[in-house]
Amino acid sequence: MKAWPKCGAPITDVKAALQEAAWDLDEAFAALRKRGLAAASKKASRHAAEGLIGLAHCANSSALVEVNSETDFVTKTAEFQQATAVVAEAALRIDPAHVSGVGDINVEALGAVPLQAGGSVADAVAACAGSVRENIRLRRACRLDAGTGVLASYLHASPAPGLGRMGALVRLESASGRLEGAAAEVAKDVGAKLAMHIVAARPMALDRQSMPADAVAAEREIQRAHAIRLNKPAAVLDRVIAGRVHKWMEEMCLLEQLFVMDAAPVQDVLRRASEAAGAPLAITGYVRLQVAEGLGSAKSDFASEVAATLEQTG
Q: What is the pLDDT, as a whole number, of residue 10?
A: 60
- Residue 252 identity: M
Q: What is the pLDDT, as a whole number, of residue 2?
A: 45
Of the candidates 49, 53, 54, 87, the one whose C-alpha atom is nearest the C-alpha of residue 71 is 49
Q: How many other CB atoms are there within 10 angstroms of residue 293's CB atom? A: 13
Rounded-to-integer distance, Cα 240 and Cα 223, Å: 8
Tally helices (H) and strands (E) across the chain.
11, 7
DSSP per residue over 236-257, as a string? Answer: HHHHHHHHHHHHHHHHHBGGGS
**Strand locations in the chain, DSSP E?**
50-57, 61-69, 137-145, 150-156, 163-164, 166-174, 281-290
pTM of the model: 0.80
CA pseudo-torsion sign 75, 81, 85, 87: negative
Rounded-to-integer distance, Cα 34 and Cα 37, Å: 5
Q: What is the pLDDT, as a whole number, of residue 220?
A: 95
Q: What is the pLDDT, as a whole number, of residue 67?
A: 97
Q: How many other CB atoms are there within 10 angstroms of residue 139's CB atom? A: 18
Residue 61 pairs in a beta bridge with 145
Q: What is the pLDDT, as a whole number, of residue 41?
A: 44
How does strand 50-57 pair with strand 61-69? antiparallel
What does pLDDT average to in each consecutive run of 10 residues of the chain (314 residues)? 50 69 71 55 61 96 97 95 98 97 97 94 93 92 97 96 97 97 98 97 96 95 91 88 95 97 95 98 98 71 48 48
